[in-house]
Structure 1
């Protein structure tokens, strides 16, 4: 996958929820190999946008064109309830291989390598055999991110993955997201704090369900900038 290769295109997307327009005239193109941050106040439509990108919500009108064969991984916010899962870090991350391998089937050597690399990417190699309940909240959140990385999806969607994390976990999460983009995945992250994500390629700002600003940055490795579709509100 190349960075010029669109993974998904949204055209004139409108989403109405119980009489409320959650998204209005949204145009957006998400490319592989780039990290897109979605920002905006509470109620601006960020989570609704992610649900459309994930295919979990049908637009009221407009079109969402996904590249054929695109695999999607979604990392929602996690609560303390995840600590009750009777799984180790490796168990949880290994579940990321189920889509390709099948649930409960033995992992191949290549799968185990992918899992180990995902655990390392989120900085949990030293905790790989520990149960989730023995981890901090930030470490558990990173374990779920590792599970998403192990899927090796083409489109990785995350809803405030660094919210409430300590500095160590935030840095580890930001580094892990770059592992995904370096592999060629398109990564879209809802965040309240751009600084927590490290280098960001594209920033999409939502207000009242509309994209009011969409900008592109050049990261430290010299990526060329690009235009991001936007609708002035």
Structure 2
């Protein structure tokens, strides 16, 4: 699928993400309070905030795995449920729950990203194999395609799960802390791949609490602490005063105990 436009929609008619006055949370916790987010197509937006600031809750709500308490969400003009069914959004979790002893190869993991294209039989067609081959090469894992996923290093495993999302070919990608626990070389490769995806027409929302390199990565930044504290160009948002508001607020308040991986919470299968 060409990632420059969502299937069944007019080109550029709707933003990739439109959340209006969005509130969401868990019993006893209001994790998001009146959040407004609009992401235009073909851009990379960094979602910056400390642990407990609501980043994972926002992802869960955008994916339709957490129902809003108030407000609404639209992805390319669709509800999250319909957007997922129509393969408009992919997700790379912060932590992937896998059995490292299970004999599944890197190539098989990446092929899971094609499940939405295969139908009930899940028999790969030439187009599926070509998408997997391209994704593996893009993240530098072509030579490790036959290796068991449990044998990869942390950085290699992150790249494998990124390749799975790439193979899905959804026009919107959500990435939850993709740089956590990776070495500098893997981080640089991931940044390069994300830029390639944006240039090919994808929209990417990347959550992170690591500030180094955000200016190089993103076209725009959203600073989140339950509300949107600031949004705009990296140099306008990542100021000492703004960051003090965001990270100082978290240090002075109890952290919201939100699940790090909203898909794992629901027990849902990858390859949306």
TM-score (norm 2): 0.73
Is 1:125 the counterpart of 2:142 in the alignment? yes
Aligned in 2, Cα 1:193/1:140: closer, same or farther, shift over 3 Å?
Answer: same
Counting only pairs closer than 5 Å after superposition, residues 148-159 of structure 1 correspond to structure 2 as 148-159=165-176
Is 1:94 the counterpart of 2:103 in the alignment? no
Task: Note the C-alpha offset of 1:117.
Answer: 0.9
Aligned in 2, Cα 1:81/1:119: closer, same or farther, shift over 3 Å?
Answer: same
Pick aligned residue for 2:222 from 186, 204, 215: 204
TM-score (norm 1): 0.85
State the aligned residue count.
218
Task: Note the C-alpha offset of 1:139.
Answer: 0.5
Task: Note the C-alpha offset of 1:106.
Answer: 2.8
Counting only pairs closer than 5 Å after superposition, residues 1-233 of structure 1 correspond to structure 2 as 1=5, 5-66=14-75, 67-68=77-78, 70=83, 71-78=88-95, 81-102=98-119, 105-196=122-213, 198-207=216-225, 209-216=226-233
CA contact (8 A) 1:94 1:150 kept: yes
- 1:119-156 per-position Cα deviation (integer Å, ceiling 9, x unaligned): 11111112122111221111011101100100001221
- 1:177-209 per-position Cα deviation (integer Å, ceiling 9, x unaligned): 2232222221111111243464311100012x0
Larger fraction in strand? 1
Task: Note the C-alpha offset of 1:172.
Answer: 1.8
Aligned in 2, Cα 1:116/1:196: closer, same or farther, shift over 3 Å?
Answer: farther
Distance 2:99 2:162 in 1: 13
Q: Name which of structure 1's ranges 12-21 and 118-127 shifts more when overlaid on structure 2.
A: 12-21
CA contact (8 A) 2:25 2:57 kept: no
Task: Note the C-alpha offset of 1:78.
Answer: 2.4
CA contact (8 A) 2:51 2:209 kept: no
Q: Name which of structure 1's ranges 72-81 and 181-190 shifts more when overlaid on structure 2.
A: 72-81
Which consecutive residues of structure 2, in runs of 5 or more, have no partner in the other structure?
6-10, 236-248, 250-272
Aligned in 2, Cα 1:24/1:102: closer, same or farther, shift over 3 Å?
Answer: same
Distance 2:165 2:128 in 1: 14
Distance 1:83 1:102 in 2: 28
Aligned in 2, Cα 1:76/1:214: closer, same or farther, shift over 3 Å?
Answer: same
Distance 2:120 2:110 in 1: 13
Which consecutive residues of structure 1, in runs of 5 or more, have no partner in the other structure?
219-232
Q: Name which of structure 1's ranges 102-111 and 29-38 shifts more when overlaid on structure 2.
A: 102-111
